Each structure stands twice: as C-alpha cells, then as structure tokens.
Structure 1
Amino acid sequence: MQYENVDVAFAGQIATVTLNRPDVRNAFNEAMIAELTAAFESLNERDDVRAVVLAANGKAFCAGADLNWMKKMAGFSDEENRADAMRLANMLSAIYRCNKPVIARVNGDVYAGGMGLVSACDIVISVDTARFCLSEARLGLIPATIAPYVIRALGEQASRRYFTTAEQFDCATALRLGLVSEMINADQLDATVQQLAETLSENSPHAVRECKQLVQDVAGRTLDAALIEDTAARIARVRASVEGREGVASFLEKRAPAWRT
C-alpha cells in the first residue's frame, strides 16, 4: 500500500509507523485511519518484525480528529456515521491487537482521538512537556470509540473526571494515572524508545506475543477455577513450544537462544 499520511520504516527487527500530517498537528481523517489500519494489519503478519514504534512528525503527537473531516461528518446519515465510526474503531483495534508490542513515542500534545491511539499501545514513552486532553465534551461529543482503551489506561475513576470535564492535564498526571509508562526529557526520547525496542527484540517472539495476549485475556476476569485452569494450560502449552524448549536449553547451556542469532 502507498502511504501518504503515515510513514512506515524498518530498522532491523523494529518497525516505526509515523503520523505525518504535522501541518494539522497529526489530526486524523478517513485517509489516515485507513492507512494506519492497513499498516498495523500488515505488521501483524510479518515475522521479521519484533517491535513497533508509533511516532509522529511535528510538534504534536495527535490532535484527534481533523476539523474538516468532522465538518463533513455532520452531514452524514446515521448509517454513514456508524460506518465511519467503525472504521476508527477497527483502526484502534488493529493497534491494540497487533501481536507485536507497540511503543508510543509521544513527542508532544495528545488530544481527543489521539488519546485512543496512545491508550491502544502497550508502552507509552512521553516527553515531560506533553499535555493530554479528552476534549470531546467541549464540542458536544463523547469519546465513545476510544473509551474501551482509555478507560483501561486511565482507570474508571480518572475517566469519569476527564471525560466529563474535558480538562487538560500534564505528563506528570498522565504518569501518575498510568497512561504514560515513562516521562523523560525531549533529548532522551529517541534513545529511550530505541533501547526499549531493542530490549523487546531480544526476547522470544512467541513468548512476547503470548504475554501480550495473556494480559488482554486475563485483565478484569474473575479469579475463579476457569481462570486458574486457563493460565495453567497456557504455560503448559508454551513450555512445550519450540521457543519454550529452546529458551530453557540455551539458558542451561549458557548460550544465546536461536531467536537472537
């Protein structure tokens, strides 16, 4: 696929998907949504990719929805609005369900739908000057499509506040609430993201995929007999896998595992 609104680059086993509409603070429209969806669906199928970085060009990470796109949506029928919302929902799902770990490289402000992009990622590294805002209520809207991801990232109580107040909050608050994994100075951003991506790339690809799926499947479930049986079955399956056996053997034999060679 030819990309016009995002850039996709590869360096070793790390893929970087970069939002590339800096003139509108990387606000997304239907074209960017389609390209992001296609990019992550493609990366999901690539065995040569171990980690994905979601980055942005310009001063802002993502300002949410493009105003011209929103203006056009105002004239949509109910059916057209539902179809359009589903395209956004599918894009977020493609990021969240990507079987590679996804690192958000947050270089600047994150507003509205941009909060969904960040919340769908597994790890969020942000500059300390970034500001965050769920601004939908100011426009008479609600953050519905991004809610499943944002509520998981912020927690229910913080979401009650910031969904309804549409207040802006700083990176220190985002870190305290758990949305941001690590807050750093801008001059450390690239090195920190690169080091983390390389660390992920050194681990068993199969185990990393299973770990990501494990968190998604177990979070919020009742601790009952079914969950206990499920988790026992998972570790039994992974122990018997090719990479599971190789990992244990390489540790005992004091050598690097095959996936690093």
Structure 2
Amino acid sequence: MNYETLDIAVAAKVATVTLNRPQLRNAFNETAIADLAMAFDELGQDPAVRAIVLAANGPAFCAGADLHWMKRMAAYSPAENEADAMRLAAMLRTIYVSPKPVVARVQGDCYAGGMGLVAACDIVVAAEGVNFCLSEVKLGLVPATISPYVIKAMGEQAARRYFLTAERFDALEARRIGLAHEVVPMEALDATVSAIARALAANSPNAVREAKKLVRDIAGAPVDDALLADTAGRIAAIRASEEGREGVASFLEKRKPSWLST
C-alpha cells in the first residue's frame, strides 16, 4: 500500500511505520488517521511481521492535531464532530490491540494527540531532551479520545496534574511516571529501539500475541475464582498449542525453536 502521510519499511521481521509530515511537526489530520489505522491493521495481520516500530521524521515526533484540520472541525455539526472523533478513537485502539508488539521511537517533542499515539504503544523509548505536553485545556479542549491510553500509561495521579495544568514535562519525568520505559541519548536511540525490536521478533509470535492480550485483560481485574480459572485456562491452552509444545521441546533438546528459522 502507498500511504500519503507515512513511510513504511520491513526488515528482519520488524516493520517501521514512520510519521512523515515533518513540515507540519507530524500533526495528524483525517488522512493521517486513516493511514495509521490501515497500516497497523495490515501489519497486524502480516505473518512476516513480528514487531512494529512507530517512528517519526523531523525534529518533532507529533504535535497533535493539524491546525487546518481543527479549523475545519470548528464548522462541523455535532454529529460530524462525533464521527470524526470516533475515527481517531478507532485508530488509537487499532494500535493498542495490534496483535504485534509496538515500540514507540520518540525522537522529538510529543504533544496532545501525539501522546495518545505513544501511550497506545507497548514499549516507549524516548531521547533525552524530548518534551511531552497534554496541551488541550489551553485551547479550551480536553484530551478525551486519548485518555484511556494516557491514563493507563501514566496513572491517574499524574493524569490529574498534566491534564489540568497543560505543563510541559521532559523525558525523565515521562519515565518516572511510567509513560516512557527508557530514556537514552539521541545517538543511542536507534540502537536501543533495534535491540528491543530484535528481542520481540525472536520470541514465539503466538506467545507474544497472547502475552500482550493477557496484560490488557488482567490489569485491574480482581483476584477471584473467575480470574484464577481464566489464567489457568490460558496457560493450559498455550502449553497445548503448536508453538508451546515446540518451545518446550526445543529448550529440552537444546536447539533453536522453529520460529527462529521462519
């Protein structure tokens, strides 16, 4: 597929989806939203892809919404505004529930809706000097569609502060509150992201997919009889799966599992 707002490359079982509107600080509009939704849907179904990196060209990772798009939205009817917001919400969910693990490579500032993109990813690596900001309230708006992912990533208490103040905070603060997993010098960003992507691509594709779903389903669930039965059922099913049997056999036989040769 050709995408108007993205560059996509696949190498060594890792797909890199690069936001490519550097002249607009990679702000997104309806075209960028549609491109991202389609790209992650297709890559999520591609058996040749085992991990996805979300990156960006230019000095900024993503400045949020394109101002031209926002001006058009101001003239929308309530129904048109809701439909437009649902397209953004659906795109973020596509990233969040992608069966392939997603690593965000954050090389530049990330504001507003851009933070939703980052928070929807599984692993976030940011360069030193990157700033983050939930700037919506400065414009009389709220970060509604991105809130499920941002609150999960940074926690309720941090969200209380940064949703309300629209303060900028740096990459080290992002790591402290849980939004970023690693903060590295810019010159180490590519090597760090590549090492994580290689590790993801080397694991059982089925186990990675199920482990990602496990976190989504179990986080916050009460530890009751239903949860015990659920988790017992999951491990029983994956032990009996083709990759589960192959993984255990390859470990016992001291050989590489079959998914490393495909």
Give the aligned residue type for 2:256. A
Q: What is aligned with 1:211? A: 211
Q: Secondary structure at the match of 1:132?
A: strand
Q: What is aligned with 1:66? A: 66
Residues 20-65 of structure 1, C-alpha deviation per residue, up to 9 Å, x if partnerless?
A: 0000100000000000000000011111100000000000100000
Q: What is aligned with 2:193? A: 193
Q: What is aligned with 1:173? A: 173
- What residue ranges of structure 2 are gaps of 5+ in the alignment? none
- What residue ranges of structure 1 are gaps of 5+ in the alignment? none
Alignment partners' CA distance in 2, 1:160 and 1:28: 25
Q: Secondary structure at the match of 1:198?
A: helix
Alignment partners' CA distance in 1, 2:15 and 2:250: 27
Give the aligned residue type for 1:35. D
Q: What is aligned with 2:256? A: 256
Q: What is aligned with 2:89? A: 89
Residues 56-86 of structure 1, C-alpha deviation per residue, up to 9 Å, x if partnerless?
A: 0000100000001001100000000000000
Alignment partners' CA distance in 2, 1:247 and 1:165: 49
Identity of aligned residues (%): 63
Q: What is aligned with 1:221? A: 221
Q: Secondary structure at the match of 1:126?
A: strand
Q: How does 1:155-166 map to 2 (within 5 A)?
A: 155-166=155-166
Structure-1-length-normalised TM-score: 0.99
Alignment partners' CA distance in 2, 1:90 and 1:2: 21
Alignment partners' CA distance in 1, 2:246 and 2:85: 44
Residues 170-227 of structure 1, C-alpha deviation per residue, up to 9 Å, x if partnerless?
A: 1110000000000000000111111110111110000000000000000111111101
RMSD: 0.5
Give the aligned residue type for 1:158. A
Deviation at 1:2, TM superposition (A): 2.0
Q: Secondary structure at the match of 2:200?
A: helix
Q: How does 1:47-66 map to 2 (within 5 A)?
A: 47-66=47-66
Structure-2-length-normalised TM-score: 0.99
Q: Secondary structure at the match of 2:62?
A: coil
Q: What is aligned with 1:243? A: 243
Deviation at 1:4, TM superposition (A): 1.1
* 2:4 is the alignment partner of 1:13: no
Alignment partners' CA distance in 2, 1:187 and 1:8: 22
Moved over 6 A (4+): none
Q: Secondary structure at the match of 1:223?
A: coil
